[in-house]
Amino acid sequence: MRHVTARVILDAAPERVWQILTDTDGHSAWNPFITTMAGTLAVGQKLDVRIAPPGGKAMTFHPTVTDVDAPHRLAWVGHLGIHGLFDGAHTFTLTPTLDGRTQLEQSERFTGALVWMSRGLLAKTQAGFEAMHDALNARIVAADRSGEA
């Protein structure tokens, strides 16, 4: 098993962060890592997700949503090929801070027979999480400046 985690404090309440994060049609406009997210965010539903890790090859996969707890947690699990070969369990956790902001933790737990050869992917995934967090923060700031809801 391998695990990647990144955290960021965002200048918005969890409800606002959740709104942007779960706007599946909007990811292509701001997200450099998860460039496409399509489907229904409901437990058991399949999504179409395209990621573009910095310095890596873009890939599309079809994870199954495993948890939706608005505005606190969104999770899915995806597989490369067959289950057990190379699986990734992705989680977004939103936690309110005492000053009205949000800590966003994004994590991925990789398991399966081919995980041992994933060291390069882990670094690129980490960089992707951080790029996404920066872009999400910029999206929040831009929306606040323009008066968007």
Closest CA to 143 of 30, 67, 14, 9: 30
Neighbouring CB atoms inside 10 A of 68's CB total: 16
What angle separates helix 14-21 from helix 119-146, to the nearest 10 degrees?
110
Average pLDDT, the chain: 90
Domain parsing of the chain, residue ranges: 14-102+118-146
Query: Using one digit for the tens of pLDDT, what is the confidence trace for 15-71?
Result: 999 999 999 999 999 999 999 999 999 999 999 999 999 988 898 999 999 999 999
Q: Give SS3 for 61.
A: strand
pTM of the model: 0.90
| Superfamily holding 14-102+118-146 | START domain (3.30.530.20)
Q: Give the residue carrying structure tokens 């597989």.
A: 79
- Beta partners for 136? none
Residue 86's pLDDT is 75
**What is the residue type of 114?**
L
Contacts of 66 (CB under 8 A, 6+ apart): 43, 75, 76, 77, 89
